[in-house]
Amino acid sequence: MLEVRGLSLRYPNGKQALTDFSLAVAAGELVIVLGGNGSGKTTLLRCIARALVPGAGTIRVNGTDLTRLAGDRLRRARLELAMISQQAALVRRRSVLANVASGALGRHGGIWTTLGGLPNAELAAAHLHLDEVGLAPLAAQRAGTLSGGQAQRVAIARALAQRPRVLLADEPVASLDPEAAEDIMRLLRRLAAEENLAVLCVLHQVELAYAYADRVVGIRDGSVAFDLPRADLSREAVRQLYLSEAA
């Protein structure tokens, strides 16, 4: 479903953020990326979402190479690929329901959505997505009034409204308490299985990777340090990954 091959990116300041990075995530699979601070985890996700332009490599989503696209073709290709980040990034003064439904805007090009309206069908679908993340009763509430965990769930519901094939999650539990973090990880796990989503999730919490990942990819200095099924991931490999950061 998602296939990254030989991805490289150098920042304008000369820092090599990614070097010949490759990975693949199949439909229904939850792959967790672990790595120290500044190892290139967020850059990898932003690169895959084409928020950053890679210097080399290919990013294939369902067979389409995103690196070859620009303008409206890239915008349409992005519909297949949703991203959630550490901050839920909701429009605080809009309702929870409107925030979720706005995930579907890319599929609607009419005057109504351009003027700020949302199609009734998408509002109804947004209700279902909210129900899926357990927040249907909060649909009418302003997004700015939600707790961190609730806001993150709404961000996930917005991603679902996009009807993506791939879900990228950049440290989605970084600012949450342990219970809320477990909640979100359980939700991602369930969505991967039930919605047949390819989920690529960047985390700092090793224990969550052990608990929820199908596969774990270690990233060090922008390169793949290991790519292993969860069952094969040794504590030593993880220790080495973070040791290199301390060094």
Partner 1 sequence: MTDRVAGGQGRHVGPARGWAGPLGHAVHIVAALAGLLIVIQSLIVVQARPQDLVTGIHGMADILRRAMPPDFTQLDKELWPALETVDIAIFGTLAGVMMALPLAVLAAANVTPSRPLYYAARGIIGFTRAVPDLVWALFFVTAVGLGPFPGGLALAVHSIGMLGRLFAETIEHMDMAPIDALALTGARRLQIFTHGVVPSVLPALLGIGLYRLDENIRASLVLGFVGAGGIGFQLLTAMNLFQYREVSLLLIVIFVIVLIAERLSAMLREKLA
- Give the whole-angstrom CA distance, residue 83 versus residue 99: 14
Of the candidate residues 153, 158, 165, 220, the single one contacting partner 1 (CB under 8 A): 158
Sequence-separated (6 or more) residues with CB below 8 Å from residue 99: 90, 91, 143, 154, 158
Q: Which is nearer to partner 1, 9 or 34 (CB)?
A: 9
Q: Which of residues 172-201 bind partner 1 (CB under 8 A)?
A: none
Of the candidate residues 42, 43, 113, 205, the single one contacting partner 1 (CB under 8 A): 113
- Give the whole-angstrom CA distance, residue 190 versus residue 212: 10
3-state secondary structure of 220: strand
**First vs last C-alpha separation in the chain:** 36
Q: Which of residues 70-109 bind partner 1 (CB under 8 A)?
A: 75-79, 82-83, 85, 87, 89-94, 98, 102-107, 109
In the DSSP assignment, the letter for residue 92 is T
By CB under 8 A, residue 115 contacts partner 1: yes
- Give the whole-angstrom CA distance, residue 6 versus residue 155: 30
Size of the site for partner 1 (CB under 8 A): 33
How many whole angstroms from its chain centre is CA 143?
20
Of the candidate residues 162, 187, 202, 205, the single one contacting partner 1 (CB under 8 A): 162
Q: Which is nearer to partner 1, 175 or 223 (CB)?
A: 175
By CB under 8 A, residue 39 contacts partner 1: no
| Structural contact between residues 246 and 220, judged by C-beta atoms closer than 8 angstroms | no
Which stretches of the chain bind partner 1, using CB under 8 A?
49, 51, 75-79, 82-83, 85, 87, 89-94, 98, 102-107, 109, 113-116, 155, 158-159, 162
